[in-house]
Amino acid sequence: MEVTMPQLGETVTEGTITRWFKQVGDKIDADEPLFEVSTDKVDSEVPAPQAGYLSEIVVPEGETVPVGARLAVISDDAGAASSAPATPPAEPAAETPPVEPEPAPPAPAPPPTPQTPAPAPAVPAPAAAPAPAAAAPPANGGGTVTSPIVRQLIAQEGLDPAQIRATGEGGRITRNDVLQAARARGATPAAPAAPAPAPSAPTPASAPAAQPVAGASGDETVPFDNIRRRTAEHMVRSLATSAHVYTSVRVDFERVERVRRAHQAEWKAEEGFSLTYLPFIVRAFCDVVHEYPHVNASVEGETLIVHRDVNLGIAVDLSFNGLIAPVIRNADGKRLRLLAREIRDLAARAKSKQLSPDEVVGGTFTITNMGPFGTTMTFPIINQPQVAIMATDGIRKEPVVVESADGDDAIVVHHIGYLSLAWDHRAFDGAYAASFLNDLRVVLETRDWETELA
């Protein structure tokens, strides 16, 4: 059976194979993770469509192919796997030379040889550089790069494709080949970085950045992976696009805490997970946002698109290896229990890379929850093209002044936390943002939350 690149979302046309979980000859169970694919929206693990043996891998790691492309072959018996490896090399070998036949010969020719020794005196590794350079071209023909991700990595690392040992099928350079070459080079990345600042204007900015790398020989070079690169591009673009302003409000969560504590055991027995503060905050947001529709909007050129539906993105940390914001559709029409279930489900599937690309697009507002890490006040970056994002921070016991029934002031201990809103000044002004947060605070502090859990 042939394994092809699946259609992972309506707008997804191609994907990059970032990892094969099985190798040729390995036994596979149906629905067992077979490979990981990265798109411009999400990284996903794709299960095997049937049980059998992996007899052929057509597309190696690091390659980008369109939806429907042939990726691998699964056979019913192990014998088919043993004969398969002889066939693939012939196929890609015929395909790869036409892709980039001309760049390969010039690379090992005279140009690389004079250039390689030049930087070598500056960096104490002259002996190591010529050895791989000489070995790589004969073994791999200089290596052929066909993946955009691999090309970006090579450019980031300042490497010469002709001197990278290619282990992919047909002499292709994979992502792992680039990382291996970067590790073998050690501290050399500082050398190519030096010429770059010369023609550019921001000389003072680049000089200090390059210095620490060159100064410490034990430093590790960690190239951005796909999700890190996409996050960086998205955040930098957002800061350059939106007129960011930050407004915070202090919230007394005591009423929420008492209801949460009273129902925790029963909730956990019924739902299988703990009842946190986040569903209460989401429910309160859904109540208030209709009074402030410009918060649930996006900017297009010089117009504000106010969205009718509330599609709420919930930022999820992927075990410190990235961030993604799956979307709860029509969140304003759901009660607290259903919201809690969806938050839990989306977070769990995000962490196990089971989300589809369609589940992370179309958000109209985003909430990022730093509370579990005990933060006090977070100032997030807006998730474009939305006009606002709200951070929920740690909730802890603090002394507060309250008015008793007889009108006297008293100091009591309540659960206190902060909500911080990052908003785009192009969409509305400070009074609008402050009023929205204040109304949200009032709902959280005064609502009868018992009825929500009934």
Known catalytic residue at 425? yes
At residue 16, the 3 state secondary structure works out as strand
Whose CA is closest to 331, among 346, 348, 313? 313
Among residues 294, 358, 429, 448, which one is catalytic?
A: 429
Within 35-188, residue ranges assigned H as helices are 78-83, 87-99, 112-115, 130-140, 148-157, 175-185
| CA 404 and chain centroid, separation | 49
State how far the Cα of 17 lies from the Cα of 19, in Å rounded to an integer: 6
Asked if 48 and 100 count as a contact pair (C-beta separation under 8 A), the reply is no
Among residues 76, 424, 425, 439, which one is catalytic?
A: 425
Could you write out the DSSP letters of every residue in 250-306? EEE-HHHHHHHHHHHHHHHHHHSS---SHHHHHHHHHHHGGGSGGGSEEEETTEEEE
Whose CA is closest to 414, among 187, 279, 253? 253
Burial class of 86 by CB neighbour count within 10 A (0 to 12, 13 to 18, 19+): exposed
Rg, Å, the chain Cα set? 27
Known catalytic residue at 429? yes
Residues identified as active-site: 425, 429
